[in-house]
Structure 1
Amino acid sequence: MYPILLAPDEGFRRPTGLAYTTSGDIHFMWHELAKAFCLVLIIEGILPFLYPNRWRELVASLAQTDDRVLRLIGFISMLAGAVFLWVIK
Structure 2
Amino acid sequence: MDELMPRRVYGTDADEPHPGPRPGHVYRELCGGPLDGLLLDVTGWTETERATGAPLRTDIGRFGPGGHSVYRPRPADPARWDWQGDAR
TM-score for the superposition, normalised by structure 2: 0.22
Point out the structure with the larger strand share: 2
TM-score for the superposition, normalised by structure 1: 0.22
Point out the structure with the larger helix share: 1
Higher Cα Rg: structure 1 or 2? Answer: 1
